[in-house]
Copies of this chain bind each other. A is one copy, B any other.
Amino acid sequence: MRERWVPDARRNAVADAVGRLLMRGHGTFPGMREIAAEAGVTTGTLQHHFGTKDDLLLFALEHHCRRCADRLTARSEEGARSPRQALAVIVTELLPLDEERAAETSVAKAFVSRAATDPGFAAHYRAQRKILLDLLGEQFARADVPDPSAAATILARVIEGMRTDCLLLGPDAVDVDAVLDRLLRPRDTP
């Protein structure tokens, strides 16, 4: 008998395959047959579960964002002690420090160019960005940093830079503590 799958699990497996291919491949989006081979299915399966290729890619993007968000909420209690530690958890969880997070980062990077013109992907970017800004801003407010939302905007940008540094130069190129030191140290108040 053919393997039985709950359809969502199959879609998630395909999305994971896309992540692995984007991580290993040359950065360009893989073809349908390549995705099917990596996922251990045929292109017919892909056509059935996702209509078109763009639907598949958009689902893959959402899948990896969802996984990252799940990890963030799962570790959210670790930040109960100090806002500084909460920020460290968030930043570290977004860095490509293992295969799973490397795939997520590769996916995110690959879709930036796409989002520049395609409104669907752009909307997704905006939504994801807002979630991150809220998370960071909350911790900056707890840390009594003046203008916490501005601080969150800056850290979000630093995170993006750290993700590519880590992806292209290796894990030793980033130092979470050094970054938080500089962004959290108290300032003169006039």
Contacts and interface: CB of A to CB of B under 8 A. Distances in A.
Given A150-B182, A188-B185, A116 B106 contact: yes
A26 B158 contact: no
Interface in A150-188: 150-151, 154, 156-162, 164-165, 167-169, 178-179, 182-183, 185-188
Interface string A114-140: 111110001001100000000000000
A164 to B, nearest CB: 6
Contacts of A114: 26-28
A113 B117 contact: no
Interface of A: 22-29, 106, 109-110, 112-118, 122, 125-126, 150-151, 154, 156-162, 164-165, 167-169, 178-179, 182-183, 185-188
A183 B155 CA distance: 11
Given A126-B169, A182-B150, A26 B160 contact: no
A178 B150 contact: yes
Contact of A26 (B117, B159, B167, B185): B117
B25 A112 contact: no
Most chain B CB within 10 A, of A112, A114, A185, is at A112
A158 B169 contact: no
Contacts of A125: 168
Nearest to A160: B161
Nearest to A169: B126
Contacts of A158: 154, 157-158, 161
Given A27-B116, A125-B168, A154-B179, 7 more contacts: A22-B113, A25-B117, A26-B113, A26-B118, A112-B164, A154-B158, A161-B161
